[in-house]
């Protein structure tokens, strides 16, 4: 299996593996009565709708998905909170580390027409796109900042400084990181409900949309009932 959706300028979400289906949810629920379905029926779909509506969520934790994600650090750290703060069990996260690797750094660089203004009535989020004049200068300044950081990083490595310390010179928030995220179907649905919301940061919304497009065909009935922001 190798289903992939590109996100932002150079990021992506890849569906690596899937365990289970809508039928897994049904059979996990029916085991209480020593019952099992061999194929999904209308009755089974009604059961899934009942489970989701009434908050009986444990059967949705018997299916899981594994993703490979390549995203700017600012996205990865927002995403990470769904692992450390999750009560939806079956979550795991492994990330590439610049303690061990010195591969060429990649950075998210918004185009001139992608810079957003600060919102007028909120301390977080963003407003309308800034003027092209401001956007062009912001992009140019960011590229210069990244170039300086990469130069200092290379210098540190050349001088024999350990990679785990040399990485301090790299601009952090826009740097791409690669990670595996394995989560239960319920946990994925919780992430989608939070990060598909209209007030979520635009960059992580883009990743959530990619996750949704990959998950929905695998669990069409469950996702329709669990994810209410689409």
Catalytic positions are: 195
Please spell the DSSP secondary structure of 28-89, one letter per residue: HHHGGGT---SS--HHHHHHHHHHHHHT--GGGGG-EEEEEEEEEHHHHHHHHHHHHT--S-
Q: Say if CB 45 and CB 26 are below 8 A apart.
A: no
Residue 15 token pair: 């569906």
Residues across the chain: 230
Residue 95: how many other CB atoms lie within 10 Å: 13
Residue 67 token pair: 């993703």
């Amino acid at each position: 299996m190798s289903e992939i959706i590109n996100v932002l300028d150079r990021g992506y979400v890849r569906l690596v593996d899937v365990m289970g289906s809508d039928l897994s949810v049904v059979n996990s629920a029916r085991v209480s009565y020593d019952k099992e379905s061999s194929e999904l029926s209308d009755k089974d779909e009604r059961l899934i709708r009942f489970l989701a509506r009434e908050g009986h969520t444990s059967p949705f934790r018997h299916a899981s998905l594994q993703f490979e994600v390549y995203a700017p650090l600012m996205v990865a750290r927002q995403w990470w909170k769904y692992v450390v703060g999750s009560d939806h069990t079956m979550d795991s996260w492994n990330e590439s580390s610049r303690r061990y690797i010195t591969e060429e750094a990649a950075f998210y660089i918004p185009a001139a027409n992608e810079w957003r203004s600060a919102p007028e009535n909120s301390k977080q989020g963003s407003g309308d796109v800034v003027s092209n004049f401001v956007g062009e200068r912001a992009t140019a300044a960011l590229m210069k900042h990244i170039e300086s950081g990469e130069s200092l990083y290379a210098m540190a490595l050349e001088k024999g400084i350990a990679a785990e310390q040399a990485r301090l010179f790299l601009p952090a928030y826009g740097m791409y990181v690669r990670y595996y995220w394995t989560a239960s179907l319920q946990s994925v649905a919780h992430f989608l409900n939070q990060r598909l919301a209209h007030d979520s940061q635009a960059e992580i919304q883009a990743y959530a949309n990619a996750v949704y497009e990959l998950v929905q065909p695998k669990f069409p009935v469950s996702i329709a009932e669990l994810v209410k922001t689409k």
